[in-house]
Structure 1
Amino acid sequence: MQINFFLIPEKSSAKYRICLSVVPDLPQKPFICETPFIIKKEDWDEQKQRPANIYLKQHKRIHVHLNAVRVQVTALIFKTRKVGKTSSLKGLTRKIREICSAERKEYAEGSLLAMMKSYMEDKADAICLSTYRRYMVFMRMIEKFEGFTVRHISVEEVNPEFIRQFCQFGKEEHYTQSTVSRTIEFVKTILNYAERKGIITKVRQLEVPKVKSVKKVMILTEEEIARVSEAEIPENLQRARDWLLISCYTGQRISDFMHFNNGQITEIGGKQCLSFMQKKTRKEIVLPLHPEVLNILKKYGNSFPQAMDTTIYNRHIKKIAALASISDPVNVRKRIGFRGKDIQVEKWQSMTSHIGRRSFASNFYGQIPTPLLMQATGHSTEQMFLNYINSVHYDRVISLGNYFEQLYASRNPACP
């Protein structure tokens, strides 16, 4: 059986109607059906039979529906054939119209997508918005994969062959290896969830592909933080600089530090501390305030600066870093078009609100016991915490070099 999408010109416009031909069984003549979607010819990828840019809002919607048509029409034809009947043009047209007009997605019973939906509904009260959005990214990938394989994927079918095909799909669609691996990790989570419901799965047979690339954590070194603190900047950037320094000395996400307030300050053992609940993890954090943070609070009458919009804050800290001459070349992955690409930029250009949290973890690592740092950042495991550590810490490299020279000099006093 074959399902192919193609374009036919619209009579009253310069756009084209997306149609499909369905060949249930050769040599039976194909059914030609129209969809409600129209598109410009230059926006259509004839080879992949879909919109060329599937990340434009309008084209994304078309692509999602075309994938659903491909999968559900195939399922309908096999179901009809199983009961000894033949498909009809009228029945297929009605099904296509139904799929394309549906506002809410319904997933096949027993499918991987249905189990994902059930899992997310069960976790709705326990996860934050960012986690929910990440789960939705994984679901969208599986939806696209079903379009790629032209069939519903049941929970029982998730096996090593599924992993192989999914990796092939990721390669053809130019997804990064880390994106593919994270999605497979989520699939394993779903299978474990299914087993708790009494469904037998092959989760123990699955191996997640290892990511070969080494992730480099972007941080501000202690020397760079000092340059930010001392740089001459215009008045309109002062507040953003103070928040950046606060983030570097508290190690919190912007969703937390931008909402710090005097009501969270408490005194414990003669030390000024912050007591708050992390928005993402819902963990209670009690954090002693660094002297640099206390100095900043004095500037604002022993209070925190006024909160800032995240977009404006990210824009301002880039300007601050540029004025502080934080311009060493760094390699980053930047979205160009609808895929990430590795490019080299000046460091200030790559700065975002999360750099303070990473800088805190990396700069104090090795100087302060790791359990104490983890208590401050709210990480549950050391492995998660170490993801925030810059593996190439140049201050430590220089210190190690100094130790080498001192040891060599102590053992070879005659050498200059």
Structure 2
Amino acid sequence: MATIKFFLQSKKENAQIHVRVSVSREIVIRKSTGFVINSQQWSDKTGLPKQTGAENKSLRNSLNKLQTHLYEVLNDDLAKGVLINGNWLESQINACFNRIDKVDNNIFVNYIQYMIDNASTKETRGGKIGLSEGTIKNYRSFKKIIEEYEQYSKTKILFREINKSFTEKFKTWLLNERRYTVNYSGKQFEFIKTVCLDAQKNDIDVTVHSTTLQPFRQQDKDRYIHTLSLDELLQIYNTEMPTKHLKNVQKWILIGCFIGQRGGDLLSITPENIRENAKGLYIDVIQQKTGKNVTIGVMQDYVLDILKNDFPEPVSLNKINYHIGKVCEIAKINQKVEGYITNSETNQTELILLPKYNFITSHSFRRSFATNFYKIMPTPVIMGITGHSQENIFLKYINQRQDKDANADLFMSFFEKMNSNNEPQLKVVKRAQ
């Protein structure tokens, strides 16, 4: 049975009061309670202050309160398999008295906040300064998830404790307790690794496991990617929408599926981004995530008409995603397809067969563009527009296997075209004697 005792380590006038929690012979942890007392006022027999005055009585009540709190949470956490260590004990002392932890960047969540606070001066790839708003938003979401896990596990996460045991428990919590998707859970592992690598650069001790952590994702055979085909886009265009809001979303859907940009980049476009030259209409975009300058040529007649004569009103990405299913439902994009949804009653992710309009979101725009023009146009051209830097990542994005013959076919086509442009030449052939 666990025991909790208070003790002094000195005979000074202002001696620190410590607490010792003995869980077993192997697990004995000690921490300062944050209280001090004149050692002459301490009873070694009771392990508590002597009852000689109001101040000592108040102190004794505080220690009794802490002892009761520790017994309660200790039994509960032992049953849950929570790691009982010095960090756990310090957190429980602070929780008992509603104390605010001092800022210590050895604590994982504190360092995430440090990265957020210093986002404007953070150096990124390519020597650029400052994190994008999207990246900062992702770090805030990640910090919230870590804080929720700390509440669940009732412990503060330290860099030196991010080992295989921790990541396995964290993965189980993400997938089984929170019911996050495999891909979203795997993304949190990417953040763990990124934060730990950054902390290492600032001379914070981190584990080798945390800096070599491998993210995980859904297997290709289990992925369900939903896109709008060229025929379905024409179907959407030819459908009259009953309200102004739905008509506005309809226009953004059509533009989005023909310019291949992320949702935030799409909705930042204004008529000032559009220009015309002898070859047609171009849209110039600076991609928020990559910082790349991208120019997209638009050829589809009904999208050209929207851009030139009926440019959509500004709208938030949340509004797009709220109305997009209704637009597609009205346009009868109702082919039955498989996909994952979150059951609102059980909060579990389920694979289910539903009409396609249930699965179309703003994420479908860029994927639709890439999927519709894959193999129609050279892959590097499409990647230059979508902003993908590696072909293997691009192919995973549209759930396509690499075509080993594609480059050979392309070379042969160009070679045939090159030879067809050469005029035949007469050669003099000597007769054999």
Normalised TM-score (structure 2): 0.62
Shift in alpha-carbon separation, 1:2–1:355, aligned structure 2, 3 A: farther
Q: Which amino acid aligns with 2:385?
A: A
Shift in alpha-carbon separation, 1:163–1:389, aligned structure 2, 3 A: same
Partner residue in 1 for 2:272: 263
SS in 1 for 2:398: coil
- Is contact 2:325-2:357 (8 Å) kept? yes
SS in 2 for 1:144: helix
Distance in 2, matches of 1:199 and 1:26, equals 30
Of residues 346-355 and 173-182 in structure 1, the stretch that sits farther from structure 2 once superposed is: 173-182
- Is contact 2:142-2:191 (8 Å) kept? yes
SS in 2 for 1:332: strand
Distance in 1, matches of 2:313 and 2:175, equals 46
Shift of 1:315: 4.3
SS in 1 for 2:334: coil
Instruction: Tell me if 1:154 matches 2:158.
Output: yes
Partner residue in 1 for 2:284: 275
Any gaps of 5 or more consecutive residues in structure 2? Answer: 5-18, 25-46, 48-63, 71-75, 122-129, 402-433
Q: CA RMSD for the aligned pairs?
A: 3.8
SS in 1 for 2:98: helix
Partner residue in 2 for 1:198: 203
Q: Which amino acid aligns with 1:166?
A: F
Partner residue in 2 for 1:319: 326
- Is contact 2:91-2:156 (8 Å) kept? no
Partner residue in 2 for 1:182: 187
Q: Which amino acid aligns with 2:387?
A: G
Q: Which amino acid aligns with 2:334?
A: S
SS in 2 for 1:98: coil
Partner residue in 2 for 1:140: 144
Distance in 2, matches of 1:108 and 1:257, equals 40
Distance in 2, matches of 1:265 and 1:275, equals 7
- Is contact 1:111-1:152 (8 Å) kept? yes
Partner residue in 2 for 1:381: 390
SS in 2 for 1:272: strand
- Is contact 1:146-1:152 (8 Å) kept? yes
Of all paired residues, the percent bearing the same amino acid is: 26
Distance in 1, matches of 2:307 and 2:236, equals 17
Higher relative contact order structure (alpha carbons within 8 Å, sequence separation ≥ 6): 1
Shift of 1:363: 0.6
Shift in alpha-carbon separation, 1:145–1:232, aligned structure 2, 3 A: closer
Shift of 1:195: 2.5
Shift in alpha-carbon separation, 1:299–1:168, aligned structure 2, 3 A: closer
- Is contact 1:148-1:169 (8 Å) kept? no
Partner residue in 2 for 1:63: none
Instruction: Tell me if 1:118 matches 2:123.
Output: no
Q: Which amino acid aligns with 1:185?
A: E
**Cα shift readout 1:97-119 (whole Å, capped 9, x = no counterpart):** 434xx6xx755441222332233
Partner residue in 2 for 1:245: 254
Matches within 5 A, 1:399-410: none
- Is contact 1:327-1:348 (8 Å) kept? yes
**Cα shift readout 1:277-335 (whole Å, capped 9, x = no counterpart):** 233443322111223322333543xxx23333544444443333222221122333333
Matches within 5 A, 1:18-167: 24-25=21-22, 31-32=67-68, 74-75=89-90, 96-99=96-99, 107-124=103-120, 126-167=130-171
Partner residue in 1 for 2:239: 231
Shift in alpha-carbon separation, 1:251–1:348, aligned structure 2, 3 A: same
Shift of 1:123: 3.0
The structure with the largest alpha-carbon Rg is 2
Partner residue in 2 for 1:358: 367
- Is contact 1:159-1:206 (8 Å) kept? no
Shift in alpha-carbon separation, 1:210–1:316, aligned structure 2, 3 A: closer
Distance in 2, matches of 1:128 and 1:332, equals 31
State the 4+ residue runs in structure 1 displaced beyond 6 angstroms: 26-30, 70-73
Partner residue in 2 for 1:294: 304
Normalised TM-score (structure 1): 0.65
**Cα shift readout 1:123-173 (whole Å, capped 9, x = no counterpart):** 346333333232223223333333444433322222223223323333551
Partner residue in 1 for 2:225: 217
Shift of 1:357: 1.7
Length, aligned pairs only: 322
